[in-house]
Amino acid sequence: MNSQARSKLTHFLMAKSIAEALLVGALAVTFFFVAFPPYFEGWGEATPNAIAGWAVNRRQPSQRVEVQLFIDDQFVAARGATLPRPDIVTAGMAADEWHGYSFEIPALNEGHHTARVYAVHSSGQGARKTLQLLGNPIQFSVTGDQKAH
């Protein structure tokens, strides 16, 4: 085999490998969106005594969303996002306002902490549960006078 034929074969094999990698990537992305259909959107903030915010399933906006709070990677509590949030209706995120949540901040050591609120998605007829982070992690600090809630 001469060098020109070898070069063409090499280019063909590289192009084939790239095409296969793109196909596998497209299939993986498609599988992800089919296997995990809910698209949760939400927001949260830390107040002096609570982590509060809202959660909406954008594919089924009238459905109530279960949320879980983790502080410093430790589970704290779970509940439904069922508190009134009129701003959600005003923003066009849902037809009703019952998508808010609030978690009391437990007693924590003084210093910086990170809270994460996750939407819970049940799949496989409830056999599997996956978590989707709502918004960004919430950074907050606890001072000496806030330690015992």
| Gap between the Cα atoms of 17 and 92, Å rounded | 45
Same domain, 58 and 93: yes
Domain harbouring 62, CATH code: 2.60.40.10
Structural domain including 22 reads 1-35
User: In this predicted model, what pLDDT tens digit does every residue of 86-105 receive, in sequence order?
Assistant: 999 999 989 999 999 999 99
Same domain, 75 and 107: yes
Is residue 38 over pLDDT 70?
Answer: no
Residue type, 30: T
Q: Where are the alpha helices (H) located in 36-111, listed in sequence order? A: 86-90
Same domain, 68 and 129: yes
Same domain, 20 and 72: no
Q: What predicted TM-score, i.e. pTM, was given to this entire model?
A: 0.72
pLDDT attached to residue 148? 42
| Gap between the Cα atoms of 146 and 149, Å rounded | 7
Same domain, 44 and 29: no
Pick from 47-51, 60-64, 71-75 the range whose average pLDDT is largest. Answer: 71-75
- Give the count of domains, the chain: 2
| Gap between the Cα atoms of 86 and 94, Å rounded | 10
